[in-house]
Amino acid sequence: MALGVVVLYFGFYELVGTGAMAAHAQHVLRTEFAEPQPVVATPSASTAPAPRPGEAVARLTISRIGLDVIVVEGIEPNDLAKGPGHYPGTAPIGGAGASAIAGHSSGWGAPFMHLGRLRPGDTIVLSTRGSTFVYRVTSTTVVAPTAVQVLAGDPRSTASHKLVLTTCWPVFTHRQRLIVFADLVSG
C-alpha cells in the first residue's frame, strides 16, 4: 500500500508539480525576454557574449500545435525545467548551419508533447530580441537517443539555415527521440 502511495505521489508530481514549476519559470522568462536590453558597445556583433545557460534566447511559436514558449540556452536538466533548450555548440538561433532545440514531451509543462502532429509544410517561428525567423518543416523521423548526427539538420536539405527540434518519444517514455527538421524560409 505504501508503494502505491509513493507511485501515485510521483505520478502527481511528474504531471502536475513539474508543470506548475515550468509555468512559473516561463512567466519569469517571458518578463525578462520582453525587457529592453542595455546597449553595450562592442567592437563587432561577432564578439557579443554567448548566452548563459538558462538565459532566455528566443520565443518559439508553432501555431499548428498551439505552442508559444520561451527557449533558454542549454539542455541540462535545470535548463529544460524552464522550457525548451538550445543545444550549445549548434548554430545560434537564426544563424547559418543547424540550430537545435530540445524540449520535454512529458513533465515540466511538456512543451513538445504534440510535436508528433507536425507535418511537412508546417511553420515554426523563432523570435529573438532583434529578429524573427520563419522555418518550414521538411520532415520528421524517430531515432535512437544515441543518433546525435541529427543535430546537423536534415541530411537531404541543401538549405544554409536549418532548425532541428528534438524530444523523447513516445510521450511518457525516453526510449527514442522524435526529430523535426525545418529549413529557414524568411528572416
pLDDT in tens, 133-168: 999 999 999 999 999 999 999 999 999 999 999 999
Contact 79, 73 (CB under 8 A): yes
Flag whether pLDDT at 88 surpasses 80. Answer: yes
* Beta-bridge partners for 102: 85, 166
pLDDT digits (tens, 9 = 90+) for 28-63: 777 877 766 554 444 444 555 788 898 999 999 999
pLDDT digits (tens, 9 = 90+) for 172-185: 888 999 999 999 99
CATH of domain 2-35+55-186: 2.40.260.10
Radius of gyration for the chain, computed over Cα atoms and rounded to the nearest angstrom: 17
Domain coordinates in residue numbering, the chain: 2-35+55-186
Contact 142, 169 (CB under 8 A): yes
Residues 140, 65, 105, 1, Cα dihedral to 10°: -140
Euclidean distance between CA atoms 86 and 121, whole angstroms = 23
- pTM attached to this predicted model: 0.81
Euclidean distance between CA atoms 20 and 151, whole angstroms = 30
Cα separations (Å) of 134 from 20, 166, 176? 30, 18, 27
